[in-house]
Amino acid sequence: MNEKSIAMVIPTYNERENIIPLIEELLRQPLDIRVILVDDNSPDGTAGAVKERFGNTPSVSVYVRKNKRGRGLAGIYGFREALKTGADIIGEMDGDFSHHPSFIPSMVEKIS
């Protein structure tokens, strides 16, 4: 497979229970992938949990917005940050495993 760089945007709000396993699964994929988490200041500590677990991982970035401003605006914010990375492919997925990371390699293969 031609190695393409990928930036995956994940808007979150109260996904503390799901987000660590989701990011771990994303990083296990045989891809050059960067995770861009955009959190709307979740009261359950979603962003803090990600920073604690992946704080020294250069391929994981966490952005916390001060107020709950909605998933759509969080996605736009994330896409703007993703464009700055120069990634070949930019995607977005939910933080609750409704989109499973294991499908990403076959999707990348089809569009490459």
Render pLDDT for 84-105 as a digit per residue (tens, 0 to 9): 999 999 999 999 999 999 999 9
Mean pLDDT value across residues 24-50: 97
Q: Which residues contact 60 (CB under 8 A, 6 or more apart)?
A: 23, 27, 34, 35, 37, 50, 54
Q: Looking at residue 33, what is its pLDDT?
A: 97
Q: Measure the CA–CA gap between 70 and 65, rounded to whole angstroms.
A: 10
Cβ neighbours of 70 (radius 10 Å): 13
For the segment 34-58, the average pLDDT, to the nearest whole number, is 97
Global pTM reads: 0.93
pLDDT band at 112 (very low <50, low <70, confident <90, very high): confident
Question: Given this model, what pLDDT does residue 39 score?
Answer: 97
User: Over pLDDT 70: what percentage of the chain?
Assistant: 98
For range 63-68, the mean pLDDT: 88
Average pLDDT for residues 53-82, to the nearest whole number?
A: 93
**Which CATH architecture best describes the domain 5-107?**
Alpha-Beta Complex (3.90)
Question: Helices marked H in the chain — which ranges?
Answer: 16-28, 46-54, 71-85, 104-111
Give residue limits of the domains in the chain. Answer: 5-107
